[in-house]
Chains A and B, each alone.
Chain A
Amino acid sequence: MSYYLSTVAIYFGVDLLAAWGLNMQFGWAGVPNFAFIIFQAVGAYVTAVLTLGPDTGANSYQHYVLGMQLPFPLPLLAAAAAGGVLSLVIGIIAMARLRRDYQAAVFLLIALIATQVVSGDVGLFNGSNGLAGVPQPLAGPLSSLSLGQYQWAYAGFVAVVCVVTLMFLRRLGRSGWQRALRASRDDEAAAGALGLNVAALRLQVFVLGGAIAGLSGGLLVGFITAWSPGGWGYAETFAILTGIILGGVANNWGIFLGTFLVQIVFVEVPSFLPEFGYPGLIDKLEWILIGFMWLTVLLLRPRGIIPERRYKSGIDAAPRGQGNVSRV
């Protein structure tokens, strides 16, 4: 049971990081990044190829680029950088001149193209078979621990990364920069007409969110030690997005709750149910529940369980008779 709980804790931490990254883009800036999962994927791949060591050539069971063996935590930092750089390139292409609804379509297409490219090009990241045998980042220094103890140690490390990320997000969340992003989310034309460089703001948050996605991918592959296109289909983005919408867009604690509900309760609970219906139905329940939650939340509580926090100006109300504009 302890092994299971530590596994769930690590997955939750990784999913939470990803959700916070996507929330920066979608919740703060309104960027419909339906390709979000590919930024997590690139972080995972980069971590893998920077820890696996050199590709030994024709006799190797897997082929990949770079092939280095960098010490911890350099591969993780590289994962974040890779997520950021890929975001910069894709952000410039997808967000430069397109309206938001077209951006959503472009991002979805980019996710599909990325899966095909990585699956088809075996020399890049070993094609559709993916990479396996990725070294665990803390295995060396913590070699004296049992498997169960190592898992909890890794869960603790993921938790530390989550706390540091949360502190960073809270700092940004109190800034005028974040407020400018939310303004551009609400009305892009009006934000521009007030002097905000909406394109630059969105590209900045897109890169930051992509870097966090890359970091989450690096942490994930360091745990599961394997990574292939089957694990990062475009639909995974919608699972992350469901957690954000369910918990509360642009609210870090709402996203914590939403991610817990979606990634832990909806994903894990069905596996404890007794077999019923046709074979495989229980596995599909996860996506059925996710789809159902989307519709329910959007209909009944569109701002989520814990809505975006209202800013309190802290100024005194006007004296009676002054400042009370009647509602018209």
Chain B
Amino acid sequence: MSVAYSKVTEWRRGSPTVVSGALLDVADVRVRYGGVEAVGGASLRIVEPQVVGLIGPNGAGKSSLLAAIGGQAPIAAGTVTLGEHDVTKLPAHKRARLGIVRTFQTASVFDRLTVFENLLVAGVGYPGAALGRAVTGGARAKAAADAARADAVRVLDELDLRSMSDNYGSELSGGQRRLVEIARCLMCAPKLLLLDEPMVGVAPHLVRRIGETCLRIRESGVAIIIVEHALEVIEAFCDRVVVMAASEVIDDGKYDDVMRNGSVRDAYLA
């Protein structure tokens, strides 16, 4: 297990989580934008830390399903449960505090914060994030700030980002922005990490690095859902594949099984 991830996780949760029942249970979720149904009754269950690849053609509803899980899109019907928490009606920030953290299709690094600040701001329990603490300060706040800095340094080292810690987000390349996004998520001590096309526009050597990072994160007890179009990435780094087409989940299984039964071909050629 990676030292950085385990430390961050312990800080947030007190001790590593023992999974009982489903880690994530998405039951018959529907997402509508006006009259358009982007997700039409999707179900997805993750019972153990694993990397789940979510694939399908454009418009299949993958990003909308991710948004429904993350709290960025309102759920018209169905439920989303994280561990023992029904998060269906919770806003995004409360879901994040429970452990559902995500990246976006367009890399969403805070451009006018440095890389180090990008990580600090994501640290759960970072002192001063509350106005009262910002005004009063105090020894406890300083100790917690020091702890957050230490965690940020560990995560930077883990993802080999230390050399750019003082760079602004706007000064990073596309691949570096993706790595910073993932590093930032790790500061939140996630239980479920949602990555929306993290490999888009990323150089091949960084694709491998992001993929290997995902595997290490999984080993620290975190489940990951990756929306991805590149099947070679799915094959290399995902334990399981969920196929969506026309707003519905049409297949769910291991990569070889999904490829063998033709659902991917049906999805893309339908």
CB neighbours of A322 from chain B (8 A): 160, 162
CB neighbours of A186 from chain B (8 A): 110-113, 169
**Closest chain A residue to B145, Cβ basis:** A176
How far does the Cβ of B125 sit from chain A's closest Cβ, in whole Å? 10
- A190-B104, A310-B166 are contacts. A328–B93 as well, Cβ < 8 Å? no
Give bound CA distance, A193 to B70, whole Å.
Answer: 7
Per the CB 8 Å criterion, the residue count for chain B at the interface is 62
Q: Could you tell me if A311 and B166 are in contact, using CB atoms closer than 8 angstroms?
A: yes
Q: Mark B86-128, 1 if CB is under 8 A from A, else 0.
A: 0000011100110001101000111111101110111010111
Q: Determine whether A101 belongs to the interface, using a CB cutoff of 8 Å to chain B.
A: no
Give bound CA distance, A315 to B203, whole Å.
Answer: 28
Q: Determine whether A317 belongs to the interface, using a CB cutoff of 8 Å to chain B.
A: yes
Q: DSSP majority for the A interface?
A: loop
- Known pairs A176-B127, A179-B117; list 19 more (Cβ under 8 Å): A176-B148, A177-B128, A183-B117, A193-B93, A193-B102, A193-B104, A193-B108, A194-B96, A194-B188, A195-B96, A195-B97, A310-B168, A313-B165, A315-B156, A315-B165, A325-B161, A325-B175, A327-B173, A328-B175
Give bound CA distance, A193 to B195, whole Å.
Answer: 12
How far does the Cβ of A185 sit from chain B's closest Cβ, in whole Å? 8
Give bound CA distance, A179 to B174, whole Å.
Answer: 23
Q: Could you tell me if B110 and A324 are in contact, using CB atoms closer than 8 angstroms?
A: no
Q: Could you tell me if B112 and A308 are in contact, using CB atoms closer than 8 angstroms?
A: yes
Q: Determine whether A178 belongs to the interface, using a CB cutoff of 8 Å to chain B.
A: yes
Q: Determine whether B3 belongs to the interface, using a CB cutoff of 8 Å to chain A.
A: no
Q: 7 tightest CB-CB pairs across the interface, nearest first?
A: A176-B128, A175-B134, A175-B128, A190-B108, A195-B96, A177-B134, A328-B203
CB neighbours of A63 from chain B (8 A): none
Q: Determine whether A197 belongs to the interface, using a CB cutoff of 8 Å to chain B.
A: yes
Q: Could you tell me if A325 and B176 are in contact, using CB atoms closer than 8 angstroms?
A: yes
Interface residues of B (CB under 8 A from A): 70-72, 91-93, 96-97, 101-102, 104, 108-114, 116-118, 120-122, 124, 126-131, 133-135, 137, 145, 148-149, 153, 156-157, 160-166, 168-169, 173-176, 179, 184-185, 187-188, 202-203, 206
- A310-B114, A315-B162 are contacts. A177–B133 as well, Cβ < 8 Å? yes
Q: Determine whether A189 belongs to the interface, using a CB cutoff of 8 Å to chain B.
A: yes
Q: Could you tell me if A194 and B122 are in contact, using CB atoms closer than 8 angstroms?
A: yes
